[in-house]
Amino acid sequence: MIIIMKPNASGEAISKVTKLIESRGLQAHLSHGDEVTIVGVVGDKTKLGGINFEVTEGVDRVVSVTESYKLVNKKFHPEDSVIPVGNTTIGPKTFTVMAGPCAVENREMLLASAETVKKAGATFLRGGAYKPRTSPYSFQGLEEEGLKYMKEARDATGLNIISEVTSLRALETAVKYVDMLQIGARNMQNFELLKEVGRSGVPVLLKRGLAATVEEWLNAAEYIISEGNPNIVLCERGIRTYERSTRNTLDLSAVLTVKAKSHLPIIVDPSHATGVRAYIEPLSKAAAAVGADGIMVEVHPCPSCAMSDGPQSLTFEQFETMMQHLKPYVELAGRA
């Protein structure tokens, strides 16, 4: 449930409501808007007993929240969140571009990729140091060595760096290097990992699971935020359907659904969604048009030689061209 305070509610009235909630062993989550303050109640509401908040000083009304996700719910936090990451933010009025190779293969290719995507306008360098692959015989990543290359690229270019973690061991290592952690589709419902990421306090990009509903996705985000980490960005990367003409089926309607249900920012990954290089630019434009807060795309100096996901990686020249073509769409959407 949420308790909506009156526009003129005093700090004392708000404090009284929160103390009543906490006295019953529940959590009170405050959301201060421009006009009103909302108090979210987290926990077993039956413990509130006979308390009638609607007659409490300063309270306007009480609204029941039926969804199982609470803290990521827009009812709890009506204003869209702005997530600080490194030297930038992700959220309203911005259009964040994360770009780089699927996997960190060696130092030279990563530094070349970082310089190129920075020059073209990206603010994040993406690169996988731990790679959860379908086949156990595929390239699994350079692990900590790859993260060291990522850090070197950040120091050289000023780009923020994001890399996927696949286990507690990977998490313990990655937090020493990255600006943002990525939880991949295969780990969206790895709840123990989600809780540990929540405890880390490091900003998180949470990708949608292979066939997850939006509700399941938001509940996964709830695991992270319930551990004290509110710095979460969602990423729509396509879901598995019967359609085989693309790698997955990009669900752009998920952007609108998430915006309606949650205050968290959401970006789109057209590379993993389609697996087809030629589709990335038009779907990046579509992502801007439907209100996404950014995109994540794969870029490689020689896609035909890539150790992971070459067919869906843009060349340096293709990425630079796409960024030029994308700019008017981003501006038309009122973002920078």
Q: 63: helix, coil or strand? A: strand
- What pLDDT shows up at residue 135? 67
Out of 34, 63, 92, pick the residue that ends a domain.
63
DSSP 6: P
**Looking at the domain assignment, is residue 68 inside a domain?**
no
Q: Where are the alpha helices (DSSP H) in 158-190?
A: 168-174
Residue 55 lies in a domain: yes
Virtual torsion, Cα 283, 334, 86, 222, nearest 10 deg: -70
Amino acid at 210: L
Q: Which residues of 140-155 are buried (b: 16+ CB within 10 A; e: fewer)?
A: bbbbeebbbbbebbbe
Which CATH number does the domain housing residue 272 bear?
A: 3.20.20.70
Q: Exposed e or buried b for every residue in 21-55, given b needs 16+ CB within 10 A?
A: beeeebebbebeeeeebbbbbbeeeeebeeeebee
- β-partners of residue 90 are 83
Clarify whether residues 223 and 265 are in a common domain: yes
Together in a domain, 58 and 87: no
Examine the fold and report which residue of 63, 96, 115 is the final residue of a domain before the chain moves on. Answer: 63
Query: Which of 272, 181, 261, 265 minimizes the C-alpha distance to 214?
Result: 261
Same domain? For 241 and 292 the reply is yes
What domain range is 114 assigned to?
83-332
Q: Assign 3-state DSSP to the chain and report helix, strand, coil percentages, each to 5.
A: 40, 20, 40
Task: Judge whether 77 lies within some domain.
Answer: no
12 token code pair: 């004392």
Same domain, 241 and 117: yes
Q: Classify residue 78: in a domain, yes or no.
A: no
Report helix, strand or coil for 59: strand
- Kindly give the confidence (pLDDT) of every residue in the chain, 336 residues in length, as a single tens digit, with 9 standing for 90 and above: 899 999 989 999 999 999 999 999 999 989 888 778 999 998 888 888 878 898 899 999 999 888 999 999 999 999 999 999 999 999 999 999 999 999 999 999 999 999 999 999 999 999 999 866 566 656 667 889 999 999 999 999 999 999 999 999 999 999 999 999 999 999 999 999 999 999 999 999 999 999 999 999 999 999 999 999 999 999 999 999 999 999 999 999 999 999 999 999 999 999 999 999 999 999 999 999 999 999 999 999 999 999 888 999 999 999 999 999 999 999 999 998
> Is 17 found in the same domain as 134?
no
Looking at residue 196, its pLDDT comes to 98
The residue behind tokens 């769409």 is 329
pLDDT value of position 31 = 87
Predicted local distance difference test score (pLDDT) of residue 132 = 66
Same structural domain, 55 and 185 = no
- What is the dihedral sign for C-alpha 281, 114, 248, 196? negative
- Taking only Cα atoms into account, the Rg of the chain, rounded to an integer number of angstroms, comes to 21
Q: How far apart are CA 7 and CA 242, in angstroms?
A: 50
Residue 37 shares a structural domain with residue 149: no
21 with 134, same domain: the answer is no
Residue 289 maps to a domain: yes
Residues contacting 86, CB < 8 A, separation 6+ = 160, 161, 179, 180
Residue 84, amino acid = P
Shared domain for 150 and 230, answered yes or no, is yes
**Do the domain assignments include residue 261?**
yes
Q: Which residues contact residue 120 at a Cβ distance below 8 angstroms, ignoring those fewer than 6 apart? A: 99, 319, 320, 323
> Rounded to whole angstroms, how far apart are CA atoms 19 and 17?
5
Tell whether 69 is covered by a domain: no
CATH code of the domain containing 19 = 3.30.70.1140
Query: How many domains in the chain?
Result: 2
16: three-class secondary structure by DSSP: helix
CA angle centred on 11, ends 8 and 17, rounded to 5°: 100
Domain boundary among 63, 92, 107: 63
What's the pLDDT score for residue 272? 96
* Euclidean distance between CA atoms 183 and 109, whole angstroms: 24
How far apart, in whole angstroms, are the C-alpha atoms of residue 96 and residue 48?
Answer: 42
Same domain, 146 and 255: yes
In a domain, 72, yes or no: no
pLDDT at 197: 98
Closest Cα to residue 24, out of 52, 2, 49? 49
Same domain, 125 and 208: yes
- Does 130 share its domain with 15? no
Cα–Cα distance list, 148 to 15, 44, 142, 173, 302 (Å): 47, 45, 10, 10, 22
The helices-and-strands tally (H runs, E runs) of the chain is 10, 14
